[in-house]
Structure 1
Amino acid sequence: MPRLIPDTRPQRVLAASNFVYTMGYGLYLTAGVLYFTQAVHLPAGEVGLGLALAGLVALALGVTVGHLADRHGARGVYAVTLTVQALATACFVLADTFWLFALAVCAAAGARTAGTAARSPLIRHYGGDRPQEFRAYLRAVTNLGISLGALLAGWVVQVGTLTAYQLMVAGNAFAFVVAAAILLRLPAVAPVPTVSGPRWIALRDRPYLLLSALDGMMAVQFKVLTVGIPLWLVGATTAPHWLISGTILTSTFIVIVFQVRASRSIDSPAAGGNAYRRAGVAFLVSCSLISLAAGIPAWAAAALLITAAVIHTIGELWYSAAGFEVSFALAPRHATGQYLGVFGLGAALADAIGPALLISLCITWGRPGWYVVGALFALTGLAVPFAVRWAQRRQDTWKPEPEPTENAAAT
Structure 2
Amino acid sequence: MPRWMLDAGPQRVLVASNFVYTLGSGLYLTAGVLYFTEAVRLPAGQVGLGLGIAGLLALIVGVAVDHLADRRGARGIYAATLVVQALATAGFVLVDGFWPFVGAVCAAAAAKAAGTAARSPLIRHYGGERPQQLRAYLRAVTNVGISLGAVLAGWVVQVGTLSAYQLMVAGNAIAFVVSAVILLRLPSVAPLPAAGGPRWIAVRDRPYLLLTVLDGVMAIQFKVLTVAVPLWIVGATTAPHWLISATMLTGTVLVVAFQVRAGRTVDSPAAGARAYRRAGVAFLIACSLLPLSAGIPAWAAAALLLTAVVIHTVGELWHSAAGFEVSFALAPHHATGQYLGVFGLGAGLAEALGPGLLITLCITWGRPGWYVTGAMFALTGLAAPPAVRWAHRHRAPHPEPAPAREASTA
Please name the residue that 2:80 is paired with: 80
Supply the distance in 2 between the matched residues of 1:163 and 1:313 (Cα, whole angstroms). 32
Please name the residue that 1:272 is paired with: 272
In the TM superposition, what are the counterparts of 1:324-343 in structure 2 within 5 Å? 324-343=324-343
Please name the residue that 1:19 is paired with: 19
Supply the distance in 2 between the matched residues of 1:161 and 1:232 (Cα, whole angstroms). 21
Supply the distance in 1 between the matched residues of 2:232 and 2:40 (Cα, whole angstroms). 28
- 1:67 to partner: Cα distance: 0.8
Please name the residue that 2:246 is paired with: 246
Please name the residue that 2:314 is paired with: 314
Single out whichever of 281-290 and 25-34 deviates more from structure 2. Answer: 25-34
TM-score, scaled to structure 1: 0.89
In the alignment, does 2:70 pair up with 1:55? Answer: no
Single out whichever of 85-94 and 230-239 deviates more from structure 2. Answer: 230-239
Query: Per the alignment, in what secondary structure is the counterpart of residue 6 of structure 1?
Result: helix
- 1:152 to partner: Cα distance: 2.7
Supply the distance in 1 between the matched residues of 2:272 and 2:187 (Cα, whole angstroms). 31
Supply the distance in 1 between the matched residues of 2:187 and 2:126 (Cα, whole angstroms). 10
- 1:134 to partner: Cα distance: 0.9
Distance change in 2, residues 1:229/1:41 (3 Å): closer
Supply the distance in 1 between the matched residues of 2:203 and 2:241 (Cα, whole angstroms). 45
In the TM superposition, what are the counterparts of 1:58-207 in structure 2 within 5 Å? 58-96=58-96, 98-158=98-158, 163-207=163-207
Please name the residue that 1:371 is paired with: 371
Query: Is contact 2:63–2:342 with CA below 8 Å preserved after alignment?
Result: yes
In the alignment, does 2:41 pair up with 1:28? Answer: no
Provide the identity percentage. 77
RMSD: 2.9
Distance change in 2, residues 1:288/1:60 (3 Å): same
Supply the distance in 1 between the matched residues of 2:140 and 2:256 (Cα, whole angstroms). 4
TM-score, scaled to structure 2: 0.89
Query: Is contact 1:274–1:385 with CA below 8 Å preserved after alignment?
Result: yes
Query: Is contact 1:69–1:121 with CA below 8 Å preserved after alignment?
Result: yes
Supply the distance in 1 between the matched residues of 2:286 and 2:159 (Cα, whole angstroms). 35
Q: For residues 212-235 of structure 1, what are the alpha-carbon distances to aligned partners after superposition, in whole Å with 9 as ceiling and x for unaligned?
A: 110111112122223333444555
Residue 58 of structure 1 aligns with an amino acid whose one-letter code is: A
Please name the residue that 1:209 is paired with: 209
Residue 211 of structure 2 aligns with an amino acid whose one-letter code is: L
Residue 71 of structure 1 aligns with an amino acid whose one-letter code is: R
Q: For residues 74-129 of structure 1, what are the alpha-carbon distances to aligned partners after superposition, in whole Å with 9 as ceiling and x for unaligned?
A: 11111111122122233344445655443333222101111001000000111122
Please name the residue that 1:355 is paired with: 355
Distance change in 2, residues 1:365/1:338 (3 Å): same
- 1:240 to partner: Cα distance: 5.1
Single out whichever of 351-360 and 162-171 deviates more from structure 2. Answer: 162-171
Please name the residue that 1:257 is paired with: 257
Distance change in 2, residues 1:83/1:241 (3 Å): closer
Query: Per the alignment, in what secondary structure is the counterpart of residue 179 of structure 1?
Result: helix
- 1:68 to partner: Cα distance: 0.5
Supply the distance in 2 between the matched residues of 1:43 and 1:379 (Cα, whole angstroms). 31
Please name the residue that 1:399 is paired with: 398
Please name the residue that 1:222 is paired with: 222
Query: Is contact 1:216–1:349 with CA below 8 Å preserved after alignment?
Result: yes
Residue 246 of structure 1 aligns with an amino acid whose one-letter code is: A
Query: Per the alignment, in what secondary structure is the counterpart of residue 331 of structure 1?
Result: coil
Distance change in 2, residues 1:160/1:241 (3 Å): closer
Tell me, which stretches of 5 or more residues in structure 2 are unaligned?
none
Query: Per the alignment, in what secondary structure is the counterpart of residue 381 of structure 2?
Result: helix
Query: Is contact 1:62–1:113 with CA below 8 Å preserved after alignment?
Result: yes
- 1:29 to partner: Cα distance: 3.0
Query: Per the alignment, in what secondary structure is the counterpart of residue 63 of structure 1?
Result: helix
Tell me, which stretches of 5 or more residues in structure 1 are unaligned?
none
- 1:353 to partner: Cα distance: 1.9
- 1:42 to partner: Cα distance: 6.1
